[in-house]
A and B are shown apart, each in its own frame.
Chain A
Amino acid sequence: MDFSNTEEQQMLQESVQKFVQKSYDFDTRNQIMASEKGFSQENWDLFAELGWLTVPFREEDGGFGGSAVDLAVMMEEFGKAMLVEPFIASAVLSGGVISEQGSAQQKAEILPKIMEGKLQLACAYAEQGSRFNLAHIKTSATVTGDTVVLNGSKTAVLNGSNAEILLVLARESGAATDSEGISVFMVDAASTGVTIRAFANVDGKKSAEISLKDVSVPVIQRLGASGSALQALQDSVDRATLAVSAEAVGAMESLLRKTVEYSKTRKQFGTAIGTFQALQHRMADMFIECQLARSIVIMAAMKLDGGDDATEKTKSVSAAKSRIGKAIQKVGQEAIQIHGGIGMTEELDVGHLFKSITAAEIMFGNTDFHTQRFASH
């Protein structure tokens, strides 16, 4: 048994740490968020150059290996500094769907471009009313000859406003929640009939609502066979769930560290507030939460990498997301409470970390959803 990082993982971790230290302080992040795209293309190019964009992909797809543990190691560092670049949306989630579902030709055409940082993607699956059920898809795909026409509305499309290609999940047959009948199409974001409403999420990452009105796409833009996309979506969302969980572990680590530091310097009643036992115990509890969160994310990453028991993988991802959700509330709320009013201001990074992990709690299914998914498998 060995839980230490491999040499490669250590190098990856140090490479992200170095980048953050040099180019991603809180002010820089704010400037990036305020820019039109909401992320830095310069950073993205650098991510490609450093090979980070290959981490989610298998070797046979030209990637670094596609290990979930590697991914988790990296995401944790991303989370500490709250990177807003669309890594999960474009590389992990959308790249994952293409890797799972695309033909050899489609993969050869798209995946290198993602890994080289030359192409932005977004995966449009969620809809109003679908909540966290991936199979709940009403957007319709009507095939006539070699053309398919898409109609529907998508919500919570991460990176939707910056993506050049949208992966649109749409139903070719069946009722709204059937697992069969869902296909995924690569749609040029500039296609006629595509309307994109962009905004930033509470964690600073760009997202969009997208409506599709009579959007015509050649059928050859479908990934995989008709009606067979749900499993690929599910597997990719599971990996994205692991990624966002690892990111939250990093952000919680930052919150804990900053809270402990603050409690040592903030003086009230003539002494540092960190000397009050009532607060010491609560910070000890925050530490326990951070440790359990890290443990369960490592567990889920290892299970995703090993064996081929699909149920086991599903359960471990949901276990991780459920447990980190609990940690997120505890650690986030206590960090703000112990900071007091200053923790609620926009000028301090602590509040932004709180907002980031709150978004992570909801993203790809909240705590209750994953607890129930764990129980039903």
Chain B
Amino acid sequence: MNADFTTDELQFEIEVQEFLQNDFPAEYREKVDAGIRLSKNELVRWQKILYKKGWAAPTWPAEHGGTGWTATQKHIFATEMALIGAPEPVPFGMKMVAPVIMAYGSDEQKQRFLPDILESNVWWCQGYSEPNSGSDLASLKTSAVRDGDEYVVNGNKTWNTYGQYADWIFCLVRTDTGVKKQEGISFLLIDMKTPGITLKPIVLLDGHAEVNEVFFDDVRVPASNLIGEENKGWTYAKVLLTHERTNISGVPRGKRRLAALKRLAGNTDDGFGNTMLANAAFRTKLAEVEIELQALEYSELRTLAALSVGKAPGPESSILKIVGTELAQEMDELFVDLAGYNCLPFVPEQFEEGFQGDAIGPGNTAAAALTYFNNRKLSIFGGSNEIQRNIISKAVLGL
């Protein structure tokens, strides 16, 4: 048993580090450090830099323009990206709809959609959840009725991230109401410019509208936008959800945030002439987080080792999702702890692009509470942690 990288893998690690040092724009790095959101244009520019290098799609096979990397190479790349603070590609095109198109789309659909995802020319968003179908996703009601060469779509979707920027949406729609709920679902690709689609932004607790509700009112969609067979959408959707859960542990990002916590603690007065890094209670909590992170990292490496000998990601990825998200939320609590009074002001606009005023409080400590609020989503989305525990109980423990 060993957890070492091979010589080639070490060489690859250096190559990735050098590339990121040189090509990840310094101004983006500053923004990420200051807790300011990168705009769509900035994310696209970064994605195009990766595309030029041939590294836009680490999770794709080479035949579609992906890197064709091994599981370990993907892991190294994801780690180095997170350590430097480089944003991952917005997942809805690259990591969610693309694998479904590759596996179940027609050749025409592959040629039509994949290159633009790879080059970041077209942005996608997801149309899965509905107001009454969250954890029980298969109960979804948005309907698509066949009318000649078209489907007529009616209903509404919610928790649609970045819908305001998206060109296309992939949707789960009901095409048969007379069968078991999982058997009447189809997977449909819809152009966001189609008449009858309206978006309603949802403002979250951090004051930012990153999600939307999407309404479909007699939206006519060409039948050629159906993926695979009608009523087989649930099978395709499950593939997508498995991909959504890989890399969700967030270990490298956790390491980066842990380092930031330590730096911040070293710069935060305890009010009694010392810094918070010398505060026994705080040190203990930092240590607990670091230990948990190590346990999570080695859990991920064990999963990775299994993947690299050809095993499919199984229900074990639920462990990574649960522990990874809950650990990230614990770190949010530590940032709030350090910020103290400085995170009480609710001035969300200071973390938006183009804010001109003075920030409140030193550094980005004022962001701590907003991040704490926003990251409560981590244990809710991507299959809530309750659903993940159900998967473990059923699929692993056989209960």
Q: Which residues of A approach B to under 8 Å, CB–CB?
A: 126, 128-133, 136, 155-156, 176-177, 197, 199-204, 207, 209, 267-270, 278-279, 329, 333, 336-337, 340-341, 343-347, 351, 354-355, 358-359, 362-363, 366, 368, 371-372
Contacts and interface: CB of A to CB of B under 8 A. Distances in A.
A153 to B, nearest CB: 12
A132 B341 CA distance: 9
A337 B282 contact: no
A346 B203 contact: yes
B238 interface: no
A329 B204 contact: no
Contact of B377 (A177, A199, A341, A363): A341
A176 B231 CA distance: 71
B273 A177 contact: yes
B12 to A, nearest CB: 39
Interface stretch (B15-23, B30-38, B85-93, B380-388): B380-388
Interface string B367-399: 001101110110111001110010000000000
B345 A201 contact: yes
B136 A368 contact: no
A268 B337 contact: no
Contact of A337 (B159, B273, B362, B376): B376
A162 B370 CA distance: 25
Contacts of B139: 268-270
B134 A340 contact: yes
Interface of A is mostly: mixed
B205 A346 contact: yes
B376 A131 contact: no
Interface of B: 129, 132-136, 139, 158-159, 202-205, 207, 211, 268-273, 279, 281-282, 329, 333, 336-337, 340-347, 360-362, 369-370, 372-374, 376-377, 379-381, 384-386, 389
Contacts of B345: 199-202, 207
B343 A371 contact: no
A172 B207 CA distance: 42
Looking at A126, A200, A345, which has the most chain B CB atoms within 10 Å of its CB? A345
- Majority SS at the chain B contact face: mixed
A126 B341 contact: yes
A319 to B, nearest CB: 16
Given A177-B273, A202-B369, A366 B340 contact: yes
Nearest to B279: A368
Contacts of B340: 131-132, 362, 366
The 3 A-B residue pairs with the shortest CB-CB distance in the complex, in nearest-first order: A133-B271, A131-B271, A156-B341
Nearest to A273: B135
A155 B269 contact: no
Contacts of A346: 202-205, 207
Contact of B341 (A155, A204, A279, A351): A155
Contacts of B132: 267
